[in-house]
Amino acid sequence: MALSDQIEQQTRTIGREIFARLKTESPSVFHLAWWDEKILDWCMRDETVKVQMFRFIDVLPMLKTGEQVARHLQEYFLDHKEILPLVVQWGLNFASPRSAAARAIALAVRRNASRMAQRFIAGATPAEALTAIRKLRRQSLAFTLDLLGEATLSEEEAAAYQQRYLDLLTSLAAAASSWEPMEVIDTDHAGPIPRVNVSVKLTALYSQFDAIDPERSTAWVKERLRPILRTAREVGAFVTVDMEQYRYKDLTLRVCKEILEEDEFRAWPHAGIVLQAYLRETEQDLHDLLAWVKTRGTPISVRLVRGAYWDYETVIARQRHWPLPVFIRKWETDLNFERLATVLLEHYQFVRPAIATHNIRSIAQALAASRRLGLPERAIEFQMLYGMGDAIKAALVQLGQRVRVYAPFGELLPGMGYLVRRLLENTSNDSFLRQSFVEHAAVDELLRSPFDSAQDSPEEERVNGSDTPADDRSPAHDGFRNEPELDFAQEENRRRLREALGQVRQQLGRIYPLVINGQEITTSAEIVSRNPSHPDEIVGRVARAGLAEAERSVTTALQALPTWRATPAAERADFLCRAAAAMRAHRAELAAWEVVEAGKPWREADADVCEAIDYLIYYGRDMLRLAPARQLDDLPGEVNLYLYQPRGVAVVIAPWNFPLAILTGMTAAALVAGNPVIMKPAEQTPVIAAKLMEIFRSVGLPAGVLTYLPGLGEEVGEYLVTHPRVNLIAFTGSLVVGLRINALAAQTTEGQRGIKKVIAELGGKNALIVDDDADLDEAVQGTVASAFGYAGQKCSACSRVIVLEQVYDLFLKRLVEATRSLHLGPAEEPGTFVPPLIDDEAQQKVQRYSDISKREGRVVLETEAPAEGYFVGPVIVADVSPQATIAQEEIFGPVLAVLKARDFDEALEIALSTPYALTGGLYSRSPARIERARQALRVGNLYINRKITGALVGRQPFGGLGLSGIGSKAGGPDYLVQFMEPRVITENALRRGFAPKSHSRNSP
């Protein structure tokens, strides 16, 4: 019999033995006192109930009063009251949330939820955790403790997390000295092993842990991890570094390898890392790790898990159109788990295997393989989670195995995230525990080899793997798709940008002429473009158009108009498509230009290039939709055609803050609609605009159709806006300039033959509301990203955060510390979050507002900024009145006003108290309040429970109401129409009583 067949047979034998030893009781998660089997049962049968239930559990710890609990119960279960116990139903039907009955219900709900949490969480304090550990040891179970924590948003929180671990290690070690020795858990095949064992998460040790900047992240994390490892070594404890989301995987492995190679730890064997079998890359990682351990010379432990973030990873990868890092089908993960377990067992002298699973098939396979390989007794450790698979733990103990329980402990609030993850896992269709203990699947089925499942799956899946789940192949995906941003967790992408920056550096200081009618024209006047991070560095010297060149541009555009207008829409769209391809081919280089000329940090620069590509593709496709003439009715004898024609000469006046995307968007829309375009870029970013011009020329856009005309706004800008032969102005910029353009464009001069169309995206004074039940981890992160990303220089940026008074102090404290921890630096440094402002004028203006802040509120944060570059460090001003200047005027920099609201009504009122209405947001977990915000928070783009910046073409068409703009949303279905005017042609088709049956369509 082949070796694999022998192992398979043994696996089934051992598996049956484990099943036979299971006590009949189900694991505790499926036996809950109040919160009731029936409820979980419902959750498993009805996805909407499950979502509501888990969301309710998630928000519960934030609800401080009985009234809040009762209100949320009503809101969450309005449509599913029948699942609640009768007494709760009665209470919710008849009691007001403020009544004594509601308060009593709230109390009961809270008590029961805590009880539920206690099944998975080994106590709130170290003392409670110690009690739980003693209880485990009495059952011959070893432990590893994990400190539950909120997301680490600041360095203060990271330092506190580190300190808690240091305290934990010393107090546990002291307690451990009095524990009775237990050979089965305190030794392995080679002798005694540490009794004290903890698990740590690297993201909790450094608030800016980000793979985009591996050097900085690694250095900081090692600094915090070192004392933990040192203490562990001194007190004789063991430390495992948990594995988190995929984006941290490479960095986590790197940190672990680097630190364990340091002289201090090189010979220390009591460290472990985690590998996740659901990741496609793990097999390679394991082989790399093995090679590394051999050079290190001291073994480490490897905990093999399937992976806890499967849903998250699939959602994120699909949202970003990134390759899925995880296997799609459960059997693929199962198969990989067995394969990896076997490799671990084969190399147990180098990597001590910790098989962490509740899946009896996987456990049995590991045992069978270890017997076949002749591993010594207890060379292998099994690990399971606290509160899960207790019967399996007991069975393994009976079989003489070493079993370690991963026991998280900590406050209920951060604990809920952990609890929800466990509940999701347990109620998932693919859960082994659910299939065993709820569905009561046949033992033979549960012990089936994943290899057999592979054989049952379609040929194509087996051979090619399965990147695309069936539901991703729906026709909807044949439509527009956003250009995927670069995943900077991949070294390959970081290298691309680094190299592009190097190439761009070589080209700094070049001269860029105007381009009119295909001819390059130099001028005596020039615009000097500087790098905002290093103002002495000249990015380029750009010709500066005067009135004569502006006039020549209009003449050229007028000459180009008839031919361009008559060019079929499909051909025009094809130019856009080719320009998109050219941009894709140069995307790293274009992003690098944004870094040096606009001071955009890496991610923002790359995102801007993607957005530019998106506009080209989106408007190109949309023109194909709009181009065919529509027949308006189907009456015999009459043909009514509705068709669009371009408006004429278009002037595009673009801003510097999205130097490629917005310029490309406005230009592409005007062009594809058939209008010749005069492109006047912002004075701060003319080189990027020159790159766009190069791209359009490279794809053969006819000369004259597009003019590159950098110049001063007040000079050539005004000249063009008032020119009688200009028909359309697309502008993005400040309110003051926008209103002036609108006023000037409205005036008609002698001989003018049309009324100008103005499309304008203007400013904002955008507010985020933080409700009293908001997830503060998310709300703080979202506010920081919205207010300080690109130093607040986005029209969508958050400049007011309105916080309900119940959570005001807590939110403010975390916000200040999170902001203080951001990295300010030159844009070319990959880890920079807050770059400099665009120029000295902007710097002075923002500094003026920061002075005003001192009179208008309590300045709770002012940050030191680097001396070189146009920096202003983030400023946070608390207790600002809604009417204060800094709460009313657009600042366009990193100054954030924090306002306190008594209740939700007041918060809405404050949010709407400016004449702008561009973006807005709400962090809340109250379905009713979310609904109210949908109705009442009338802004152009409303974001719920996410940051308020980063709109994507096609997904979040962008544009404001009120004083925030004129016209419809960029990247949306109504945008292109504005660049055209409709015509109707009616023809009487009746001739001598005869009318054709059908009419052919014309295209413009």
Ligand X SMILES: Cc1cc2nc3c(=O)[nH]c(=O)nc-3n(C[C@H](O)[C@H](O)[C@H](O)COP(=O)(O)OP(=O)(O)OC[C@H]3O[C@@H](n4cnc5c(N)ncnc54)[C@H](O)[C@@H]3O)c2cc1C
DSSP conformational letter for 713: I
Residues in contact with ligand X, shown as a per-residue x/- string from 246 to 275 under the rule CB under 6 A: ----------------------------x-
Residue 374 falls in which region: left (phi positive, over 0), alpha (psi -120 to 50) or beta? left
Q: How far apart are CA 615 and CA 672, in angstroms?
A: 11
Which helix (H) or strand (E) element contains residue 781? Answer: helix 776-788
DSSP 182-231: -HHHHEETTEE--S-EEEE-GGGT-TT--TTSHHHHHHHHHHHHHHHHHH
Residues in contact with ligand X, shown as a per-residue x/- string from 337 to 356 under the rule CB under 6 A: -------------------x
Active site residue 795: yes
Q: How far apart are CA 651 and CA 671, in angstroms?
A: 11
Among 120, 220, 248, 278, binds ligand X (CB under 6 A): 278
Q: How far apart are CA 881 and CA 431, in angstroms?
A: 52
> At its nearest, how many Å lie between ligand X and the CB of residue 336?
9
**Which strand ranges, in their side-by-side order, compose the sheet holding 895-901?**
858-862, 875-878, 895-901, 798-804, 766-770, 919-923, 941-944
Tell me the three-class secondary structure of 243-286, residue by residue: CCCHHHHHHHHHHHHHHHCCCCCCCCCCEEEEEECCECCHHHHH
Per rule CB under 6 A, is residue 422 in the interface with ligand X?
no
Q: How far apart are CA 408 and CA 406, in angstroms?
A: 7
Per rule CB under 6 A, is residue 569 in the interface with ligand X?
no
> At its nearest, how many Å lie between ligand X and the CB of residue 168?
18
> At its nearest, how many Å lie between ligand X and the CB of residue 119?
15
What's the token pair of residue 601? 């940090």
How many residues at the interface with ligand X, by CB under 6 A? 31
> At its nearest, how many Å lie between ligand X and the CB of residue 459?
19
Among 307, 325, 711, 967, binds ligand X (CB under 6 A): 307
768 bridge partner residues: 801, 921
Among 406, 512, 564, 943, binds ligand X (CB under 6 A): 406
DSSP conformational letter for 629: P
Nearer to ligand X, 281 or 839 (CB): 281
Q: Which of 761, 829, 856, 890 is catalytic?
A: 761
Stretch that binds ligand X, among 64-72, 322-330, 936-944, 981-989 (CB under 6 A): 322-330
192 bridge partner residues: 187
What's the token pair of residue 19? 């099943």
> At its nearest, how many Å lie between ligand X and the CB of residue 226?
21
Which helix (H) or strand (E) element contains residue 680? Answer: strand 677-680
Return the closest-CA partner of residue 877 out of 836, 788, 816. 816
Per rule CB under 6 A, is residue 333 in the interface with ligand X?
yes
Nearer to ligand X, 144 or 529 (CB): 144
Residues found in the chain: 1004
> At its nearest, how many Å lie between ligand X and the CB of residue 335?
10
Residues in contact with ligand X, shown as a per-residue x/- string from 205 to 244 under the rule CB under 6 A: -------------------------------------xx-
> At its nearest, how many Å lie between ligand X and the CB of residue 450?
10
Nearer to ligand X, 67 or 430 (CB): 430
Among 19, 77, 327, 418, binds ligand X (CB under 6 A): 327
721 bridge partner residues: none
Among 203, 301, 357, 727, binds ligand X (CB under 6 A): 357
Among 143, 206, 238, 310, binds ligand X (CB under 6 A): 310
Q: How far apart are CA 493 and CA 588, in angstroms?
A: 9
Stretch that binds ligand X, among 320-328, 628-636, 927-935, 991-999 (CB under 6 A): 320-328
Per rule CB under 6 A, is residue 102 in the interface with ligand X?
no
Tell me the three-class secondary structure of 792-822, residue by residue: HCCCCCEEEEEEEHHHHHHHHHHHHHHHHCC
Q: How far apart are CA 38 and CA 44, in angstroms?
A: 10
965 bridge partner residues: 761
Among 161, 432, 437, 904, binds ligand X (CB under 6 A): 432
Beta-strand relationship, 510-512 and 300-305: unpaired
Per rule CB under 6 A, is residue 330 in the interface with ligand X?
yes
Stretch that binds ligand X, among 31-39, 426-434, 602-610, 736-744 (CB under 6 A): 426-434
Per rule CB under 6 A, is residue 305 in the interface with ligand X?
yes
Per rule CB under 6 A, is residue 425 in the interface with ligand X?
yes
Nearer to ligand X, 217 or 357 (CB): 357
- Long-range pairs for 201-205: beta carbons < 8 A, 24 or more residues apart: 201/146, 201/149, 201/241, 201/242, 201/244, 202/241, 202/244, 202/248, 202/251, 202/252, 202/255, 203/151, 203/152, 203/244, 203/248, 204/149, 204/152, 204/157, 204/158, 204/161, 205/152, 205/158, 205/161, 205/162
Nearer to ligand X, 209 or 656 (CB): 209
Per rule CB under 6 A, is residue 401 in the interface with ligand X?
no
Nearer to ligand X, 309 or 871 (CB): 309
Range 646-705, binding ligand X (CB under 6 A): none
Active site residue 256: no
Stretch that binds ligand X, among 89-97, 430-438, 549-557, 901-909 (CB under 6 A): 430-438
Q: Which of 43, 256, 795, 798 is catalytic?
A: 795
Residues in contact with ligand X, shown as a per-residue x/- string from 152 to 191 under the rule CB under 6 A: ----------------------------------------
Q: How far apart are CA 846 and CA 842, in angstroms?
A: 6
> At its nearest, how many Å lie between ligand X and the CB of residue 160?
21
Task: Please give the single-letter amino acid code of residue 480.
Answer: F
> At its nearest, how many Å lie between ligand X and the CB of residue 313?
9
Among 105, 308, 355, 500, binds ligand X (CB under 6 A): 308
Among 217, 231, 431, 766, binds ligand X (CB under 6 A): 431
CA distances from 943 to 66, 81, 969 (A): 29, 29, 15
Among 383, 401, 707, 786, binds ligand X (CB under 6 A): 383
Stretch that binds ligand X, among 186-194, 428-436, 519-527, 983-991 (CB under 6 A): 428-436
- Is residue 598 a contact partner of residue 685, using CB atoms and an 8 Å limit? yes
Range 866-905, binding ligand X (CB under 6 A): none
Nearer to ligand X, 428 or 913 (CB): 428
Per rule CB under 6 A, is residue 313 in the interface with ligand X?
no
Burial class, 374, CB count within 10 angstroms (exposed 0-12 / middle 13-18 / buried 19+)? exposed
Per rule CB under 6 A, is residue 358 in the interface with ligand X?
yes
Per rule CB under 6 A, is residue 437 in the interface with ligand X?
no
Nearest-5° angle of CA 826, CA 830, CA 831?
Answer: 85
Among 222, 233, 249, 306, binds ligand X (CB under 6 A): 306
Q: How many helices (H) and strands (E) does the chain have?
A: 36, 33
Per rule CB under 6 A, is residue 302 in the interface with ligand X?
no
Q: How far apart are CA 323 and CA 340, in angstroms?
A: 22
Among 17, 281, 285, 430, binds ligand X (CB under 6 A): 430
> At its nearest, how many Å lie between ligand X and the CB of residue 455?
17
Q: How many CA atoms lie within 13 A of 865 on its CB side?
A: 22
Nearest-5° angle of CA 144, CA 147, CA 152?
Answer: 140
Per rule CB under 6 A, is residue 329 in the interface with ligand X?
yes
Query: Which spans of this chain sit near ligand X (rule: CB under 6 A)?
Result: 242-243, 274, 276, 278, 303, 305-310, 326-330, 332-333, 356-359, 383-385, 406, 425, 430-432
- Which residues are identified as catalytic? 761, 795
